[in-house]
A and B are shown apart, each in its own frame.
Chain A
């Protein structure tokens, strides 16, 4: 028995030692800003899954050119998932040196962690208007990824067969007439319906569709929307009219229709003629049908009274540098972002590999990769744009309030007046 006890005690101590070592091992380590071989370590936590591989490639190239810097990239899926993971990283004390914020609402959230980037070359080269969402007095707190735009993406061949000129669809009436024309020839054109409204996706309705009719309330100015304590909804009727139109001519039931059904199953295979989406769908359509993607799709703006021919263009996300990191890491992070957007090698990547619509000066825009992006760039160049103000609405408002209410309206649960009243009231409450 004695022997046994001794053995047990020893074993017990050994186990506890191992446990202590493991715990100790976990808690140190992340304070290290230099790796073992003396390199400066820059952790990047970014949200764009679509260009993960290309991004890692350019990072490798940068590391080769700058042997004293080591860059670790972590990518987590778009939208809410990214925001949630970023928050957990911060809560766990595992803060990245470079991360992404979406606009003024998130800038406020992470204000204590944001470095002033106004001394970077990239900030200087940023196109006019792309920095408004991340400016604070004279400070530039973020650098834009790229530009994106959305509208009605249509199937050129079907429009041609139905005898419709997309250029003329600048008003609601013209659009309605065109939809009716296509609808009457549905069978001949091999269509399931004129369009696909993915009402299951809160962001398609709450962010994009609603934004088109909310932006004019704030003069298309993201900061004005951010500071507004109330939302006037002066174009509420137009928003209702457009939602009804999309619903009427959509594949049913809209409430269980999602993004992948809309883009992959219906639009890419020619079963619907029009969808409301942005230039980011291009890679997906290209994978489904490269020929169709290259030659047969175009984009037109969503008609808004008094703002005919204007396309909503905005910045999807901004890069920011963590101010709580050491001086050296901050500098290395800034250098990398500068190199990415202003060096020749970086520019080539941004255009050819990332397939971005550049948000910076000094790019050969002839080389913009796909027809949708070219279209968006054209509108942005000519200044025919509607602002993206949805990044400035109260936290969660556009999806959890606006889009959810729109869903309830579509299902007949509440009236349009209630949608507007409730959404306006929620905005006001959040801004008190």
Chain B
């Protein structure tokens, strides 16, 4: 350790300085501002916990939190199931598996805003026409109420991140030792047992990573939300990030928004740390 100390810190300092300047200092500033009546131009008085008390009384914000949590739970399950499913599919010995990998990964390369607008067109226009042609009632009027707005966001998110999470699962699936698979085969395990008893425990670290990524991503989602539903109708599909932005920039209530952001930070950190802690416990070593 002693040997490494100087060069270690030499290399670390630039990163730490940069991180400090763009992350920690603004964070502390923001934290301080959340106790004032800052409106973006000036802060006149120190309010103590008033902003924090107020935000737990605000229906919008509580709705946004609840909506985000529902969205996160459904997304995590769906994205991981799709990601693992796709990964299993493209690690089979198929001629087209490389092509599939590219195709499934592609949606992730499209920016969230454009993606939102594309899916808006699909949900509103394409679904509508298809619904009329086939006489299917449920295809019509998408994004015009809270339920279809919710599922619209879920589908969009699964479509975008399924392929990305697939890549992570592929890496771990390919690292599963062939000897173990062969051994279990000789022992008479059927394909399902082999997956469940051998592969699944060995890809547990991939679950830790994928769940963390999908979780933090679902909580922080803003651009897809903005482009697809804009939080509408009547703010029923507004997620926390968007609620914070609107509080800050359309209501000019910067300090209040900052207080919401602090609560948001604590919430995401708590959920993510708990998730990583429990997932870590489940991982097995070879």
Chain A residues in the interface with B (C-beta under 8 A): 4-5, 8-9, 11-12, 15-16, 19, 23, 80, 83-84, 87-88, 90-91, 109-110, 112, 199-200, 202, 252-256, 261, 395-396, 399-400, 404-405, 407-408, 410-411, 413
Contacts and interface: CB of A to CB of B under 8 A. Distances in A.
Interface size class of B (residues with CB under 8 A): 20 to 34
B41 interface: yes
A87 B249 contact: yes
A16 B233 CA distance: 51
B252 A109 contact: yes
Interface string B32-55: 000000011100000000000000
Given A80-B249, A255-B144, A396-B251, A411 B234 contact: yes
Q: Which one of A83, A253, A256 has the greatest number of beta carbons of chain B within 10 Å?
A: A256
Contacts of B143: 255-256
B230 A200 contact: yes
Nearest to A397: B251
Contacts, number: 89
Given A5-B6, A91-B40, A395-B251, A400 B246 contact: yes
Given A19-B14, A199-B233, A87 B252 contact: yes
B124 interface: yes
A399 to B, nearest CB: 7
The binding surface of chain B is classed by DSSP as loop
A431 B266 CA distance: 33
A310 B243 CA distance: 38
A261 B250 CA distance: 24
Contacts of A255: 143-145, 232-233
Contacts of B13: 12, 16
B7 interface: yes
12 contacts: A8-B10, A19-B14, A19-B17, A80-B249, A80-B250, A84-B250, A253-B140, A256-B142, A256-B143, A396-B252, A404-B234, A408-B234
A83 B144 contact: no
Interface of B: 6-7, 10, 13-14, 17-18, 21, 39-41, 123-124, 140-145, 230, 232-235, 246, 248-252, 254
A253 B233 CA distance: 11
A413 B146 CA distance: 11
A396 B248 CA distance: 11
Given A16-B14, A109-B41, A256-B142, A200 B233 contact: yes
Contact of B41 (A90, A254, A395, A405): A90
Nearest to A12: B10
Contacts of B250: 80, 83-84, 395-396, 399-400
